[in-house]
Amino acid sequence: MNKKNYPLSDLNVWLGQVDEIKVLLPEKPRLDQVAAASALSDSLNKSGKKAQILCPRPLIVEFGQVFGVDQISNRVEGRSFIINIDYPLKNIEKINWDDQEEERVSLVIEPKTQAPSISEKLVSFQKGNGEINNLIALGFSSRSQVDQAIVSLGSGQKPDSLNIVNVAIDQTEFFGQIKLIDNEASSFSEVIAGVIEGLSLSISPEAAQNLLLGLRAATNSFSVVGIGPGAFEAAAFCLRAGGRLAAQENQSLEDQNSDQAKFSRFDKPKIYRGSANS
């Protein structure tokens, strides 16, 4: 693909400096955005990075056809693990841990003599709040929208300290340390395909399939007026990477033709003629 205007050199340097990357979607993303984000995250992970997709709300139901949609989280989770016990601290004599075994750590909580015992029903677990340091924002029109999404995710971090790669196809406000804005692109999937190819990132057949799904959704199966060559070049790249164009439309046309042939004998008016002997 001819993406000479993309800041691929800056992106390559940035990727060489970071390890963990969050890919952020708007609160109400389109299918193209979800498919592109899933493909990008998969390629980054397969290229040695730790990528995660975030969205302020759950997306599993309406985007079930996207590979990896179940990995999209609506909360920034940290590496810390929190054990909650609904039990008054004043009733606890001491807290200790047993680390004699190499593969397991056991917490030992001893209640006071007259205090009630602790049952399993009082215990719950959760991940601690995480931080976002390196962010790829996919489809935000302003920095304030990014900040609002991060607050919705429950991050305890101030948005000011973010390193942002801003990816957009219809931008009104320029923000981010790296700006990848392609107003001529048909879709986010086209842009991400260009990034993956331009940076020589790993791409799986599933990621290629996601990009094809996004391309078709954004271009009405490559039929919108004014579609440029970039969409077809992106589709060719995805096909070479193992993606497949679904045969649904062709099958529907075949079924339609079959039905027309099956019932064509009822199309013409029929005239009943009685017996000559009547």
Question: Domain check: are 58 and 85 in the same one?
Answer: no
What is the domain range of residue 38?
8-76+130-240
**Is residue 265 one of the residues assigned to a domain?**
no
Residues 191 and 85 in one domain: no
Q: Are residues 60 and 134 in the same domain?
A: yes
Is 32 in the same domain as 115?
Answer: no
- Is residue 87 assigned to a domain? yes
Q: Are residues 103 and 187 in the same domain?
A: no
Task: State the pLDDT at residue 109.
Answer: 87
Q: Residue 75 has what pLDDT?
A: 86
| Inside any domain, residue 263 | no
pLDDT for res 107: 83
Assess whether 228 and 151 both reside in one domain: yes
Pair 33, 89 in one domain: no
Distance between CA atoms of 227 and 14, rounded to whole angstroms?
31
Of 94, 128, 162, which residue constitutes the final position of a domain? Answer: 128
- 60 and 106 both lie in a single domain: no
In the chain, how many domains are there? Answer: 2
DSSP code for 172: S
Whole-angstrom distance, CA of residue 240 vs CA of residue 61: 29
Enter the pTM of the model.
0.75
Q: What is the pLDDT along the chain (278 residues), one digit of tens a residue?
A: 667 689 999 999 999 999 999 999 999 999 999 999 999 999 999 999 999 999 999 887 789 999 999 999 998 866 677 888 998 999 998 988 876 667 788 888 889 988 899 888 988 877 766 788 999 999 999 999 999 999 888 766 666 778 999 999 987 788 999 999 999 999 999 999 999 999 999 999 999 999 999 999 999 999 999 899 999 999 999 999 999 976 544 443 334 334 434 433 334 444 434 444 44
**Looking at the structure, do residues 221 and 90 belong to the same domain, yes or no?**
no
pLDDT of residue 156: 60
Does some domain include residue 96? yes
Q: Judge if 141 and 185 occupy the same domain.
A: yes
192 and 234 housed in the same domain: yes
Three-state DSSP string of 130-146: CCCCEEEEECCCCHHHH
Does one domain contain both 123 and 135? Answer: no
Give the whole-angstrom CA distance, residue 60 versus residue 75.
14
d(Cα 239, Cα 251) in Å, to the nearest integer? 19
